[in-house]
Amino acid sequence: MKMKKTEVKPFKEALLLLRARLRGDVHTLASAALSATAGGVSAVPSHIADLGSDTFELDNTLQLITNEGETLVQIEGALERIEDGEYGICVECSGKIPKMRLQVIPYTPYCVKCATQIQSENR
Ligand SMILES: [Zn+2]
């Protein structure tokens, strides 16, 4: 059974956010850090604090990218399935992926059963 558009919407938003985080945020964060140094808009103490947290975020994001390049591919696939109206359907067995699972891993193409099977095959 296909999911309704209104049901898919929050998952699509989560996926878009995740994708932006994985591939776009590095640039955004880097330029934010740069403009913070160059602009001098806010007062110095909070300024330094902001910059520090930006750098920390940047490190995290970079790590996320190196670790989860595959995730990005899965996110793209999930977004494609949303467009095709096939989101929430397991690509392996065409079974329904429980919403609980999608809430945890919105980009998963598999139901729990198939994911477990694939994981054990990869070992
Ligand atoms: Zn399945």
Please write the tens of the pLDDT for every residue from 23-74.
775 555 555 555 555 554 444 454 544 555 555 555 555 554 455 678 889 9
CATH code for residues 5-122 = 1.20.120.910
Q: Is the dihedral of CA 104, 108, 112, 117 positive or negative?
A: negative
% residues pLDDT > 70 (the chain): 62
Domain residue spans in the chain?
5-122
Mean pLDDT of the 84-90 span: 95
Does this model's pTM top 0.95? My answer is no
Which tens digit of pLDDT belongs to each residue from 49-60? Answer: 455 555 555 555
Distance 57 CA to ligand 1 centre (A): 35
Q: What is the pLDDT of residue 103?
A: 92
**How far, in Å, from the CA of 94 to the mean position of ligand 1?**
6
Cα gap 40→50, rounded to integer Å: 12
Q: Does the CA dihedral 101-105-111-112 come out positive or negative?
A: negative
For residue 111, how many other CB atoms are within 10 A of its CB? 21
Distance CA 7, CA 16 (A): 15
Cα–Cα dist 69/76, whole Å = 11
Which residues have a beta carbon within 5 Å of ligand 1, which is an ion? 90, 92-93, 95, 111, 114
Q: Rounded CA gap, 10 and 25, in Å?
A: 20
Please tell me which residue, 14 or 58, carries the higher pLDDT value.
Answer: 14
Place of tokens 């998952």: 11
Mean pLDDT estimate for the chain:
77
Report the separation in Å between the CA atom of 117 and the middle of ligand 1, taken as the mean of its atom positions: 9
